[in-house]
Amino acid sequence: MAALTEFFSHLYTMTVVFFTLLLLEIVILIRSITGGASDSEKRLITTTQYLKFIEEKNPTTIYSTTSSSRVDPSSNECTVCLSELEEGEKVRKLKCKHTFHKDCLDRWLQQYWATCPLCRTKVLPDEIVANYHRLQNQVEYDGSDEEMMFLLSALHDNSLHRLF
């Protein structure tokens, strides 16, 4: 009977350790999905918000060969993909009067600093771009979570060794 009690107390300890670890892992998983929720991170800008800023500043238009945008001879070619702008395509015309495919420009603005691919005129305020790139860097490489993962795996090994 004593052996049975010992077995159950052993089982109980194992269960407690198991659920503590499970809880920790869930917290880390949520943290990695939401990109953290501390105050300093709240001001970071997601891709959706970033694209919305671009759209607000430079609304998408439908390219038309008859529109006044053709006055500048360089504006009928998208210099990102180096192909000609076709009638009816979705384009974005920047403040500097340069026109690009909407998709080409959006991809460009996400990968590089938010400047016109042709003349380097700023498309968005520095602060927005900086906040956006900070979030992107954090999603790709988060040192703090890696440290926590390391601690957790060490804890895993220790508790299992102690139990068996």
Site for Zn ion contains 155 (CB under 5 A): no
Rounded Cα distance between 156 and 36, Å, is 23
Q: 129, 87 in Cβ contact below 8 A? A: no
Rounded Cα distance between 135 and 107, Å, is 17
- Residue 85 C-beta-side C-alpha neighbours within 13 Å: 31
Rounded Cα distance between 83 and 98, Å, is 14
Q: For Zn ion, which residue of 44, 45, 91, 104 counts as binding (CB under 5 A)?
A: 104
* Nearest approach, Cβ of residue 105 and Zn ion (Å): 8
Binding span for Zn ion by CB under 5 A among 8-16, 19-27, 57-65, 121-129: 121-129
- Count of other CB atoms within 10 angstroms of residue 4: 8
Please list every residue from 51 through 90 that binds Zn ion, using CB under 5 A.
78, 80-81
Q: For Zn ion, which residue of 21, 24, 118, 128 counts as binding (CB under 5 A)?
A: 118
Residue with Cβ nearer Zn ion (45 or 114): 114
Question: Could you list the residues that contact Zn ion (CB under 5 A)?
Answer: 78, 80-81, 96, 98, 101, 104, 116, 118-119, 121
